Structure 1
Amino acid sequence: MRNTGPRRPDRSGGVHHLDGRFVTDIPGVHCALSEALAGPGRYFGWGWDAFRDCLCGGFGVIAPFTLIWHDAAIARRAPDGAASGPDGLFSYVEEIVQILEGAGATVVLE
């Protein structure tokens, strides 16, 4: 999928809500993040590089902002939710939080 809509000016600040009820795999988390950060029907691309690029501007939102991830426990329990890192296995929820906070966002897991 590609974002074929017109580019909008970046906005900073505000509170964005991620509906985590159906986030059970990595493609699902990228779709949910796109909609939460860029708006309904928007999609910034798939994969960690596209996600990091989204936070650099040109896709609708730049930090600082707050992301409230509703039902985050669903993604943490998903069988597809483990990724490997330098310190062993961790959930992609934790990786997303690290990326967002590293970019200057505040993340609230509910």
Structure 2
Amino acid sequence: MTQTYVLDGTAITTLEDFWRVVGEAVNGPGGYFGRNLDAFADCLGGGFGTPDDRDFVFEWRDHDTSRAHLGHAETARQLESRLARSHPSHRAEFTAQLAEARAGRGATVFDWLVDIFEERAPNALRLR
């Protein structure tokens, strides 16, 4: 039987909110299912925090609300944070991505998350 994890899109206004919501959906209050993009990908692909039953789907309800909140402004905020703590060899890349986000162009945080779902758990995401 397929296990369905429901993500309340109205509760996701930042990437940090997403980590909380997805963690609680899978593992209950205070639950963990990644707190950065790499850890999230690991969890989806079979790393720490992955449900024992690999037959699962995530139903992201009100995803359009999340999509709006996880748009270019949130992307710029996340990239500013990455830039501040990045290795000098990555600064040019993050600076270029940040300029694109500030201009309202390029992939957004929402896009990053959907891409990870598609790559690590194909067909496991249902946008509602």
Give yes or no for TM over 0.5: yes
Query: Which of 1 and 2 has greater Rg?
Result: 2
Asked whether the equivalents of residues 20 and 30 of structure 2 are also in contact (C-alpha less than 8 Å), the reply is: no
How many residues in Structure 1 have an aligned counterpart in Structure 2?
A: 97
Whether contact under 8 Å (1:25, 1:81) holds in the other structure is no
> Structure 2: 5+ residue runs without aligned partners?
80-96, 98-104
Aligned: 1:70 with 2:99: no
**Cα separation, 2, equivalents of 1:18 and 1:66:** 11
Is 1:59–2:76 an aligned residue pair?
A: no
Which structure dedicates a bigger proportion of its chain to strand?
A: 1
**SS of alignment partner, residue 24 of structure 1:** coil
**TM-score, L = length of structure 2:** 0.61
Give every structure 1 segment of 4 or more consecutive aligned residues whose post-TM-superposition deviation is greater than 4 Å: 81-84
Q: Which runs of 5+ in 1 are unaligned?
A: 1-11
> Of 117, 121, 128, which aligns to 1:100?
117
The TM-score, its normalising length taken from structure 1, stands at: 0.69
More helix by share: 2
Q: 1:81 offset after TM fit, Å?
A: 4.7
Distance in 2, matches of 1:81 and 1:73, equals 16
